[in-house]
Amino acid sequence: MKVMMFAHEGSLNRGCEAIVRSSTDIIKEKVSGAKVYLASGRPETDEIITKLDGILDGSKSAMKKYSYDWWISSFKVKLFKDESYSLGKIHHNIIKHIDDMDVYLSIGGDNYCYGEQPGWYEIDRRVKSKGKKLVLWGCSIGKEDISERKLEDLKLFDLILARETLTYQMLISKGLTNVKLCADPAFTMEKEELDLPEGWQEGNTVGLNFSPLVWKRNKNSQTAVSDLINHILDTTTMTIALTPHVIDEGNNDYEILYKYYEEFKKTGRVVILPDHLNAMQYKGYIARMRFFIGARTHATIAAYSNYIPTMVLGYSVKSKGIAKDLLGEEKLVLGIEEISNSNKLKKSFDEMIGEEEEIKQKLQQTIPAIKKMSYKSVEYLNELVK
């Protein structure tokens, strides 16, 4: 079986790296002779994932103004409102491999949470027109994200694998019959442990991840997180490890976290992890924390999967669904509007400390089952191809 992963823009988002890395591992582990390829918007960032059988340039192709393709595209759009020709040219680097593959996996997890995706729709249509299998791999989609056009695209898939029950139930309620429940593959990703930085307290360090994406949506949250750091320093003896997880230009956790480091480094109890680690190395540090507070979903998955009590900042459907599946409720998951409320952040942190053992015990019970659900995705993939 030859599998092509697409809808991936590179691994500077360590969550995207975690999806590709863990998916490749579990497919190769469970499907004899499987070959896994990745079409990437920035293939040079994915060379750290060594088990792939090929990393292909999946970047968009530009159409030169007044070229033959530009004229044909303009004609079709203006007269027939038909974008298929232009979208086919733009995504040619992904489409050109369809004949060589058996299955196309649309990855990324939450790609369908950000409005219409005509480019992905066109790729999906062409995969099916060639008689190939099409799978939406480990997705989260909110009810508010569904449109008629998106629903029509979702009907094209041979298999939709929802990574948490909220998405699964919503898609079923929309009448889709091609949906199965699994869990995010990153729960199964291995960790790599590096030397601990100076100032780290073994067994008494809390990780903090924050993102420009969340800050832009609620600008007052930056001050509230600063207040939370002060609260942790004042009321506990813990070290705070500032933990980036996306290091992409224009969306770089390290830049915003470094401002907090500058603000609090004189306390001697705040450290910042480097901005060049891979997903397994970040997971190796997160696994040795006592608590974790995070805005990036896959940073929180790294914590949950190592039984670390976790508080989530600025939830989406994926955060709510994952917490519900793990803990039986949307526990310690704060909405985007709530995270500018300093008192709310402090109260939730204190709640996490107060229920530390209870949360750890619950995660120790549920994580093995969640990892089995991650592997379910490969079982469903195998059944589909056979």
- Verify that 215 and 336 share a domain, yes or no: yes
pLDDT beneath 50: ranges in the chain:
none
pLDDT given for residue 75 in this prediction: 67
Q: With respect to residue 284, please indicate whether it lies within any of the assigned structural domains.
A: yes
Instruction: Give the chain's domain count.
Output: 2
Q: Say whether both 121 and 255 belong to one domain.
A: no
pLDDT value at position 81? 75
- Rg of the chain (C-alpha set): 22
Q: Could you tell me the pTM of the whole model?
A: 0.95
Residue 161 in domain: yes
Task: Check whether residue 48 and residue 167 sit in a common domain.
Answer: yes
Q: In this structure, are 157 and 219 located in the same domain?
A: no
Residue 385 placed within a domain: no
Range of the domain at 276: 205-369
CA dist., res. 188 & res. 173, Å (int):
29
Would you say residue 200 lies in a domain? no
Longest Cα pair distance anywhere in the chain, in angstroms?
A: 68
In terms of domains, do 116 and 176 share one?
Answer: yes
Which CATH number goes with the domain that contains 301? Answer: 3.40.50.2000
Q: In what order do the strands lie in the sheet with 270-272?
A: 270-272, 239-242, 205-208, 291-294, 310-313, 333-334
pLDDT value, residue 78: 75
pLDDT of residue 224: 96
Note whether residue 195 is domain-resident: no
Q: Are residues 160 and 254 in the same domain?
A: no
30: helix, strand or coil = helix
Instruction: Provide the token pair at 263.
Output: 């603000």
Predicted confidence at residue 68, as pLDDT, reads 67
Same-domain check for residues 176 and 62:
yes
Residues 158 and 244 in one domain: no
Same domain, 123 and 28: yes
Q: What is the CATH number of the domain that holds 13?
A: 3.40.50
The pLDDT value given to residue 44: 98
**Helix, strand and coil percent figures for the chain, each rounded to 5:** 50, 15, 35
Query: What was the pLDDT predicted at 110?
Result: 87
How far are the Cα atoms of 16, 186, 189, 199 from residue 24, in angstroms, in the given order?
12, 11, 10, 36
pLDDT at position 338: 93
Are 107 and 224 found together in one domain?
no
348 falls within a domain: yes
How much is the pLDDT for 104? 98
The verdict on 148 and 81 lying in the same domain is yes
C-alpha closest to that of 190 among 2, 9, 51: 51
- Measured over the CA atoms of residue 378, residue 49, residue 297 and residue 104, the dihedral's sign is negative
Q: Residues 160, 264: one domain? A: no
**Domain presence at residue 97:** yes
Q: Is residue 289 part of a domain?
A: yes
All residues at 6 or more sequence positions from 242 whose CB lies less than 8 Å from its CB, including other chains: 207, 208, 209, 257, 258, 260, 261, 270, 271, 272, 273
